Structure formats: structure tokens, C-alpha cells
Structure 1
């Protein structure tokens, strides 16, 4: 009971930061979208000089695409503007830029927040995660699929292309009409946008400029989502033991980035604060973190430390931590037996 009271108090402590400042939001639009357009044009302009210079501008542009995605992300949570209509309009505009369907992502991401770190409610808006025992009970085909899915070259190499170019173009199974129609609308807007770019500068120049921007921003986006939940001492529990507050503070990392990268990524490194209260706009996440001492206890990860997360593949319910295949090699061998079937792997599915 005492723990529950502390958790409620912690959530209340960030309530003062659940406010939208129109002037700050407008300023953020200007200092994000204008540099994005300018850098993209600079990349196009530099094609006649050196493609290496084009790629350099492309890298810079990719970070502003990520910053644009954070605005999109806030619109999905209704935290960028006070007006729902304004959030919806800006969410569609930034969704076209980032190639993410607004209503689809808004709905699946809400499920992600409501079920994050809940072992019994995996499968929507998250990454595919199996426990040690689930993996040991899987069929050979499912084990192969899981190993491929969790392989860094697949997840960060092919994953961004699959997710942003193909997966997001289709509606989720069971999606309601509003979500389905929004996906169709956004697909049409994306096609029109790229058609106009192709008409204006030619298909070759468009691919040479936008190709690297699309791919690099996709890699960065997948990486940020991955690293902020896939760290060694994360938090996962079954439904009966699961806590929303603990999932936020213990199951989401504080990704401590250099100030420039913190700004370019819209403070999303303060992910524990965001999961505790999605209504806090990105520009107040750091202030909320600094003002609430208990939040300082969240797992802090630096860029160097985050690279270690690449080896994590399975959640170990015994030690309550992520482990590599190598670390549990003997256990997996002992758990595997001819009588066990893939059905024991339960409900976990790939993210949708």
C-alpha cells in the first residue's frame, strides 16, 4: 500500500509540467522545420560539387527529421498544442515528412504506453521480445525468425526500410475506419509529396538526396526506440505484478546524450519521464526530470554504454534482466526437450 502511494505521488509530482506553451511549440516548429528544409536544399545544391558533401548535409538533415518526429510524437499524445485539431493537423504534416501514419501510430503507441514492460500484453507498438523459457520452447523455425529479427544487421540495417517504407503503408489488423482512412490519406499525401519533388528536381537527384536522409533517420529512429527499453536491468513483469509507474521509471532509460544530440532528438532521452507522463511536452521533459529527485534514480545510459545493448536478445525472468544467447547457452540446452512445443511460447508476437 505504501509503495502504491509513493507511485501515485511520483506521478503527481510531474503534473505541473503537463502544460503546453504555444510560443514554445511555435518556436520549436520554426527551429526544426526551417533548418530541415534548408539542409535538404543544401544537400541538393551540393550534388554539383561533391556527393560526399551531399551526404554530410544528409546526415545533418536526418537529425532534423528525428526532431520533426518528436513533434509528431507529441502531437500523437496531444501534448504539442492544446487544440486537438491543431495536434491532428500538425501530426499529419510531420507524419508525411517522417513517413509515419498519424492515426495508426497514435493508436498503437497508446497501447505501447499502456502495456510497456507487461509480459502478458506484448505485441502492439513494441519490439518482439521472448523470455529465455519461451525461446527454448519455440520451434526451430520460430527460433530462426527470432534470431534474424534480433540480429543488429537486420534490425538496424533492413528494419528501417521495412518499417517506414512498407509496414506503415498498410493498416493494422482490426483497425477502425478513422484509422484506416487516415492511413490512406497519408499514403496519398506521401505519394504527392515525392511526385512533386521528382517533378521539380528529377528522380535521380531526388533519390540521391532523399535516399540517405530516409535511411539514416530511420536507423536513428529505430535505435532510439530500441535502446530506451532494451537495457540490461530493465523491468518486465506479468500482469498481476506489473506497475505502470515502475514500468515507466525502471523499464525506460534516461539516455544521457551530449547537449547537441539531446536537442536534436527532442529530449527523448528523458524517456522515463515521458513514460511516466506522456502529457509532458518534449521541451519540459528535462525540467521535470531535474525537479523530481526520485526520477534521478532511473537507469542512466551513455552512448558508449548503450552500445552494449546490442548483445541483449532474451528477457530472463529468473535474474530479471536482459541476456545474450551466449550467457544462457547451457540453460537453453537444458530447457529444450523433444516433448516441448512452440505452443509454450505463449502469446508474444512481432510488433505491429
Structure 2
């Protein structure tokens, strides 16, 4: 597993023995962090991974049965919250598949990834590839893929509708991101010829887009046959809750006034990977597979979710002050980041979020 990670990232990490004097380096190397983690943390267990997947599917099916059985207005808001949360849990399973940490079998990862992501309208391969770009460039203002900061100059020239989406609809923008990507970037997760993808990846992207089209056709068929009210109650509202969960968690992974961002030669992989923060989601931690345990995941993407807590405890002594975590209530963190994290300076190799004097 570790060899796979090194092969993917050695092109973006610097030579850890020959260090240019102009670059600020961490007091430890990627190998130092790797050596602190027990070897079994890098190994996936097929049956354990499958058990989480089938448990999630069973809960989703059980919630649908319960909602149909009760079929009462008082119950549906609770159902939307529970089912939307389970949609988010399924996304995390597909997320592990995309990283290859679900199993060592690529065909199985792709199969379970599609089974997890297609029902919640996520193009598995399109998202997997763009997410790979995010992990290879985390913390790099110029090349990161998701929830990276805009520069002050770009912010000053943003049209009102782009500011509205980027800074005020942060919990609802994921579907738009799939279609349009983030500010300053072009391409779609659904189109094989998008600049997101290499030529040899286009067939895989098309496969996921076709699967998604079939899912949309199925949903339209449900709406035509049973009515829009049925589709609204049983799918659309849980889907909205899922989108809120996804945007909330991913936003808070990488958006905080204390997290540094880098540009130019001052960035390298390990430093960028540490520009994220672990957060505590309380009773939801086991439900969404401890996705809030994010620092270790960004350093070593092939660690299965069920080993992340152990790996995190192992690397804390090595990372020291460079390890970031927060026990602050999630909604308090969200409000603080929403109020303060708008843009970074146009210049500087290590920068932090700033707040405009007048918000729009």
C-alpha cells in the first residue's frame, strides 16, 4: 500500500535529502510519519469493508421501509435527516473505493464505488479523478481542486452570482461543482473531454456518466408514475440533506483562519497535506465512518477508514504542533469560517484567509 502511495506522489513531493535553502521545510519527512504508523493500518480487510457497505445499504433499505410504513407528515423530517445522513455514509464508502482503500481489487473498488455513488447522483469516476487531483495538490493555491481560497484580486472581480454561490450557499454548491468546478477552473465531471481528465480516462468517465443518466431516468420514472410528491418525500429531501453533509464536512476540512496555504516553491506534498484539520462530529462519527479524522487520510490515502483513528494517534507525536484538530462545536466552526474566510493575499508563498472590509 505504501509503495503505491509513494509512486503516486513522489513526483509532487520534493527530494527530502536535497533541500533548497529558499524553501521552508517541516522538521520531519514523509518517511518519519510513515514509520510511526503500525503496518496493519495500511492493509484493507475485504470482509470488513464489505460489512460496512452492506450495513449502510441495509439501514437505507430499513429507513425506506419504515417511512413507507409510517407514512406520516410528522415522521418525514426525521426520515429526511436520517436517510440523508446515510446517503452521506454511502458516499464515504465510495470515497474509500476511489482511493483504493476499500480493497486491493480494482474491479471491486469500481463496482462498489458505482453502487455507492450512482444512487446519490455522484459520477464515480469523474469525481474519483478530480479528487485524486485534490489530494495530490492539497494546500496549493494554484493547483488544488476543491475548497481552495480565491485571491484578493480574483475576489474583487467576482460577479455577484459567483460570490453568492461561493460564499453564501456553501452548504448547497456540490451539484454545481460537479457541473462547473470551482471558481477560476473550467470543466465538468460528466464530460469525458473535460480538462479534468486524461485521454485514457475518458471511457471510465463516460461509464459513470451513463450510470448516472440511468439513475436520473429511473427517478424521473418514479416521479411520473407516483407523482412529484412521492419523489420529493422519498428522494429529493434526503438528497438535499446529503448535499449539506458533503459540503459541510469538506468545507470544514480545509477552511479555517489558522490553516496556511502555499504557492510556488514553498509548497510540497507533506506540507500541503497538513493544511487540513480533524474535527469531531460527535454521535455521527461512526455513522459516517470517521471521515472527520482527516489529517492522516490526507497524508496516506490508502489507509482504510477503520484504521484512521489508530493511525492518527500514532502520528501525533511526530507531527507535534503541525497536527491540527478542533473540538469546537461543528456549527460554531462553520459560522466562524463563514464569517472570516474569504480570500488570501495576491502575493506571498505562505498565506492565510482574510476577511474583506465590506462583505457582499
Query: Structure 1 residue 133: deviation in Å?
Result: 4.4
The residue number in structure 2 matching 1:278 is: 301
Contact 1:233 1:320 in 2 (8 A): no
Deviates more, 1:202-211 or 1:231-240: 202-211
Contact 1:231 1:309 in 2 (8 A): yes
Deviates more, 1:196-205 or 1:285-294: 196-205
The residue number in structure 2 matching 1:244 is: 269
Per-residue CA deviation, residues 225-256 of structure 1 (Å, 9 max, x unaligned), is 1111011111211130102112112x111112
Say if 2:318 is the partner of 1:290.
no
Query: Structure 1 residue 156: deviation in Å?
Result: 2.0
TM-score normalised by structure 1 residue count: 0.80
The alignment partner of 1:228 has SS state of helix
The alignment partner of 1:51 has SS state of coil
Superposed, which structure 2 residues align to 1:24-63 within 5 Å?
A: 24-47=48-71, 50-63=72-85
Gap runs ≥5 in structure 2: 1-16, 20-24, 181-187
Contact 1:11 1:245 in 2 (8 A): no
TM-score normalised by structure 2 residue count: 0.79
The residue number in structure 1 matching 2:110 is: 88
Contact 2:114 2:208 in 1 (8 A): no
2:333 aligned residue (302, 305, 309): 305
Contact 2:149 2:353 in 1 (8 A): no
Distance 1:105 1:288 in 2: 26
What is the alpha-carbon root mean square deviation over aligned residues? Answer: 2.7
Q: 1:64 to 1:296 in 2, by over 3 A?
A: farther
The residue number in structure 2 matching 1:116 is: 138
Structure with more of its chain in helix, by fraction: 1
Query: Structure 1 residue 73: deviation in Å?
Result: 0.3
Query: Structure 1 residue 11: deviation in Å?
Result: 3.5
Aligned pair count? 316
Query: Structure 1 residue 181: deviation in Å?
Result: 1.8
The alignment partner of 1:173 has SS state of coil
The alignment partner of 1:156 has SS state of coil
